[in-house]
Amino acid sequence: MSKTSLSGFPEWLPEGRVVENYILQKIRQGFELHGFANIETRAIEPVSELLRKGETSKEIYLLRRLQEDPVKAAEDPRQLGLHFDLTVPFARYVLENRGALTFPFKRYQIQKVWRGERPQDGRFREFTQADIDIVGDGSLPFFHEVEVAVVMARVLSSLPIPPITIRVNNRKIVQGYCEAVGVTDVEGALRCLDKLDKIGAEGVGEEMAELGFAEEAREKLLQMAQIQGDAAQIRSQVDALACKSELLEEGMGELIDLLTQTEERVPGTVTGDLSIARGLDYYTGTVYETTVTGHENLGSICSGGRYDSLASDGKRTYPGVGMSIGVSRLVSRVLAEGLATSSRKVPTCVLVAVTDEEHRAESNRIADALRNRGISADTAPKAAKFGKQIKAADQRGIPYVWFPDAGEVKNIISGDQTEADVATWEPEECYAKPQISTDN
């Protein structure tokens, strides 16, 4: 098979995969500690459903049979595509299983997604996401918006990365503020403000002008978007703008409540930032974006928000709130910067030496006996001199070599060699499985 190169599809080396699995394990443990149940949904959804979330069709990978007429396929209303996130398929899952679910339903989901965008640092065409959502039947209390922030703060703080900051806002604040300054195109304002980090205040102002926003309204919106800090700072700065509306006050009350509660439960992790708009227009309450200290150029590694109408059958609505970790984006930076490394390339704890090929069966029996006791073992690929077999183990990071004839096991890291009984021997705990080392 000829060598092919496809950008945007990460394939880690074995030691990198060990680190990724460690991160996934920590995420999974954290979610389950907070009572989230695991589900998995299909990779394929009708394109019409995928487009409900407001994403452009250019990001969706279409799916069709090789011999299918491409023209007819494009016109088929049942056209299928690979999901580009986990929220849309989860909304469908809730609707299809609403009779069997107990609400509020707390789920986590860790799966691959596909997005047809230009690959760059931290952005891939195929990547893994880890989501949590809490969905209610007809209503969902505000305290769940606090809960998902707390859960994500704890999970992310358990990973081998520098400290994180979850920046939060509330869409009611933005919408209420627009009403107070006479802006009727709220979605246009949200789209512009969402670009503040990318194009700056001047660029956002220019885009607002193109939408027909009055100069005074543009200035006030930009003043609002530059407010950030803790609960007291947010309150005083918003009050100083002297803009009032009922929706603005409702959103401010929720944001202050969230900042106050998270400061008590996960201190120093969550901060208010009124520039956070999130470009997707189905968010209705709290919105979240997360950055890693010292790696802000990576962008948000975890984002999400409150939504009230994404899951609806026309008669009943299932509001929810959730956040999503871009696992592949995070892992790519962890590996590139050496933020975490694995002690070995393979899970193998013991390499059983082979005296000669005639006695390989004895080495296999020892390896099987160790495996039956839960100890990862392998047999040497060649019956070479023991020195070469030890070297082969060392190259893969395997800490122990077992010598069948002598009934001894050697720790090639410490150099200790002792007699050992295959029925009772145990490796030192630090060598039983690959260990993850971090620099933070």
User: 329: annotated binding-site residue?
Assistant: no
Q: Rounded to 5 degrees, what angle do the CA atoms 186, 143, 101 make?
A: 95
Q: What is the pLDDT of residues 212-229, one digit of tens each?
A: 888 888 888 888 888 999
Return the pLDDT at 156: 98
pLDDT of 306-340, one tens digit each?
Answer: 999 878 888 899 999 999 999 999 999 999 999 99
Q: What is the pLDDT of residue 192?
A: 86
85 is in an annotated binding site: yes
What residue segments make up the domains of the chain, in order of their start?
12-38+88-339, 348-435
Query: Is 49 or 358 the better-scoring residue by pLDDT?
Result: 358
pLDDT of the residue at 56: 57
Which are the contacts of 31, defined by CB distance < 8 A and separation ≥ 6?
38, 108, 130, 132, 151, 155
Q: Is 165 annotated as a binding residue?
A: no
CB-count burial class (<10 Å; 0-12, 13-18, 19+) for 336: exposed
Least confident of 53-62, 91-100, 163-172, 176-185: 53-62
Tens digits of residue pLDDT in 339-374: 999 999 999 999 999 999 999 999 999 999 999 999
pLDDT tier at 66 (50, 70, 90 boundaries)? confident
pLDDT at 334: 96
Q: In degrees to the nearest 10, what's the CA dihedral of 67, 68, 69, 73?
A: -160
**Alpha carbons 352 and 366: distance in angstroms, whole number:** 7
Torsion of CA 51, 298, 286, 254, to 10 degrees: -170
Give residue 74's pLDDT.
61
Least confident of 172-176, 185-189, 276-280, 379-383: 276-280
Q: Is 431 annotated as a binding residue?
A: no
Dihedral angle over CA of 385, 388, 393, 396, nearest 10: -150
CATH class of 348-435: alpha beta
**166 within 8 A of 245, measured Cβ to Cβ:** no
Annotated binding residue 87: yes
Indicate whether 265 pLDDT > 80: yes
Q: What pLDDT was estimated at residue 355?
A: 94
Do the annotations mark residue 378 as ligand-binding? no
State the chain's mean pLDDT as an integer. 91
Condensed to tens digits (0 to 9), the pLDDT of residues 145-157 reads: 999 999 999 999 9
pLDDT of 71 > 80? The answer is no
- Classify the phi-psi angles of 144: left when phi > 0, otherwise alpha if psi is within -120 to 50, otherwise beta: alpha
- Band (pLDDT 50/70/90 cuts) for residue 382 is very high
Angle subtended by helix axes 143-157 and 246-265, to nearest 10: 40
Amino acid letter, 149: A
What fold does the segment set 12-38+88-339 form as a domain? BirA Bifunctional Protein; domain 2 (3.30.930)
Do 348-435 and 12-38+88-339 have the same topology in CATH? no
User: Minimum mean pLDDT among 67-71, 97-101, 117-121: which range?
Assistant: 67-71
> Which H or E run contains 115?
none
pLDDT score of 195: 84
- Please give the Cα distance from 31 to 397 (Å, whole number): 31
| Residue 129, annotated as binding a ligand | yes
Using one digit for the tens of pLDDT, what is the confidence trace for 387-436? 999 999 999 999 999 999 999 999 999 999 999 999 999 999 999 999 99
